[in-house]
Amino acid sequence: SVLYEAFARPGAIERWMPPEGMSGEMLEFDFRPGGHYRMRLRYLDPQQAQGKTTADTDEALVRITEIVPNERIVTSVTFESDDSRFAGEMKGTWSFTPTADGTLVEVRAENVPEGISPEDHDAGLRSTLANLARFVEQESPLG
């Protein structure tokens, strides 16, 4: 499905994963259970940047712990940062449920680093989900 391909292609993830105000660059990509990808997110406005890895970037290692095609993708995300507030592994579960008019995508994040406020995390996820919806609509043969 187009939705599954949005996760399985590095160029696709670069387009929809970065939340508003950021761009993405895939550094490594091995999409399979036990695989991983490494992505750099860059703030578009250096004046607004509060990067975790450098002044204007966030770099994350995303380990893929489970893939059930067209149903669920589970990841473990580690941000590269010298700041202990961003330490630890964040678990992300992306679930896909067919509906009458498409697919419901739900994302659940657990163990979010304390340096990321709940408000900022929620806004980032909402932005990413909106980007994913636009991407799927544009890439769909029906779109």
Domains and CATH numbers, the chain: 2-139 (3.30.530.20)
* Predicted local distance difference test score (pLDDT) of residue 142: 60
pLDDT in the model for residue 34: 98
> 93 vs 18, 72, 84, 96, CA distance in Å?
17, 7, 24, 10
CA distances in angstroms from 81 to 12, 59, 101, listed in the order given: 25, 8, 41
Of 46-55, 58-67, 85-94, the range with the highest mean pLDDT is 58-67
What is the overall mean pLDDT for the chain?
Answer: 91
Beta bridge partners of 89: 78
Q: How far apart are CA 29 and CA 50, in angstroms?
A: 25
Least confident of 37-51, 76-90, 116-130: 37-51
- 3 state SS of 104: strand
Residue 73: pLDDT over 70:
yes
Mind listing the pLDDT tens digit for each residue in 97-143? 999 988 999 999 999 999 999 999 999 999 999 999 999 999 877 65
Sign of the C-alpha dihedral, residues 129, 73, 42, 82? positive
pLDDT score for 86: 85
C-alpha–C-alpha distance, residues 109 and 8, integer Å: 20
**How big is the chain, counted in residues?**
143
Alpha carbons 104 and 58: distance in angstroms, whole number? 28
pTM of the model: 0.89
Of 54-63, 70-79, 109-118, the one with minimum mean pLDDT is 54-63
Read off the pLDDT of each residue in 64-80 and give the average, rounded to a whole number.
95
Q: What is the pLDDT of residue 45?
A: 84
